[in-house]
Structure 1
Amino acid sequence: MPQLDTPVRLGVQLQPQHVTYPQLRDAVARLEEMGVDVLFNWDHFFPLFGEPDGAHFESWTMLAAWAEQTERVEFGALVNCNSYRNPDLQADMARTIDHISAHGTGTGRFIFGTGSGWFARDYEEYGYEFGTAGSRLDDLAEGLARIEKRWAALNPAPTREIPVMIGGRGEQKTLRLVARHADIWHSFVTPDEVAHKLDVIARWSEKEERDTSGLIVSNELRDRSEADADALYAAGTRLFTLGFSGPEWDYDVVRSWLRWRDAKNA
């Protein structure tokens, strides 16, 4: 069963494409002030839509800047691509960003969202082997084990047990990795699919001998109605993410979902 007694949280994914960095920085400040719970970017090297060669910024360096800029929100990539970086290096970067974000409280706010990658252009133009969906998931499985081992060895250690978010819906490999490693499971599945996917995770959890009763279920709000969000909530979703496009940021959409969140938490 997922974690149901946790408050509903709203995460906004600032898409790092077709904008300037000052515009992104201003959006981060405004969203934190508005009361958003989590800020995300994505881990790609080129725009995913619009002008394919338009302006675009890299994920991890941006996250380090957010760690210093923000005071309250949690943050991370939705999601990091395991393929681009040595797993031990990913662990060290995550630990460092965790510490950067701990100013004022002593506890970091970084969420390690990760996945196996899918956008072929990222691989082809930056010289990474694309492989197959299966081989990339196998690499992710190996990488997560190394990341957890490295976190246990780093000096200084992370300020907290860094939450791991895994994105995807595949039942044979991805959801087994969720059962083995994740604190948060993110997907775009419909409300009527959630129960089945959670049952798959529960069965994998038994095989992995890991307690996933605290798992947070995450899903996307973009292009969905409040009725859809209500149905996802009823199915156990507690973290709701919203893709957010600039440079003409529509903050009224964020305000409406913040009101919905607050009503759920009342």
Structure 2
Amino acid sequence: MKSLKRFSIVTLGIIALIGAIGYAQTDLSGNEILARVDEQSQFLSKGSMIITLQFDNQYADGTTSENRFAGLSKQVEGGEEYSLIYFVEPEDVSGTLFLSVKVSEGEGARTWLYLPWSEEQGILKELVAEKQKQSFAGSTFSYQDVGSREIVDKYDAELIGEDTLTVDGEEHVAYVLALTAKPDADTDYPGGKMWVDENTWLMLKNEDYNETGNLEKTMEVLKLGEFEGNATADQIIAKDVLEGSSTTITFWERRRPDEEISDDTFDAENLDSFDPTVYGLID
């Protein structure tokens, strides 16, 4: 899904979606609200994180598929961001690794795909820009979506009103923002809308509009939770409106490792020796 938000599934953000500290603010501009979303979304992404999650895909022809993943992420002072996704199920793709590395602000992430050719060796491929736009594991998300993306530097936001959304049986008052791509920004969509919880800065809903002004993609929080005292999105659904497909993402676990994850773990040259049992990703 070519979403407008800063979004990295492994770095929990599915980053702009998953963490916020409560603030009671009024009289904010659209850009100030957008900055709050970005600021608070990074609160949980600092340091090292381990997650497990599931994709449930529904296709236009009525068929379905399911994928289970486990992931590591790390964000260090200075802006470096690392994420590594381990494919757990189905069995035919188990052991596949997806690595995203961003070393400086203002630059896109480099991404790699490691395919286990045999027990002794695998194939490592760096994904070029066009490959990054392809579907990730048959979902409505692209490889690019799974890597880190920024919205504050690429979009201007205008506060256009308030709305009340029902999420997991509870009503949430939300700011409604209209997003417009900045003139020189490299973006997938020229505009969109975002619903931001007024109390937690959690993004509850997002809409992406294409060049013709038609709605193309949506994302919506289905279930809420809590981690380290902060609101989280425990389940979201992303829909490709034009294709008629959807992906539901369920986060099963979020936890901090006992020690910070080494930078060497996120070195593409070390993927062939990665051991998921070290981090409890598999039994």
Shorter-chain TM-score bucket reads: 0.3 to 0.5
**TM-score normalised by L of structure 2:** 0.32
Greater share of helix: 1
| Larger strand percent | 2
TM-score by length of structure 1 reads 0.33
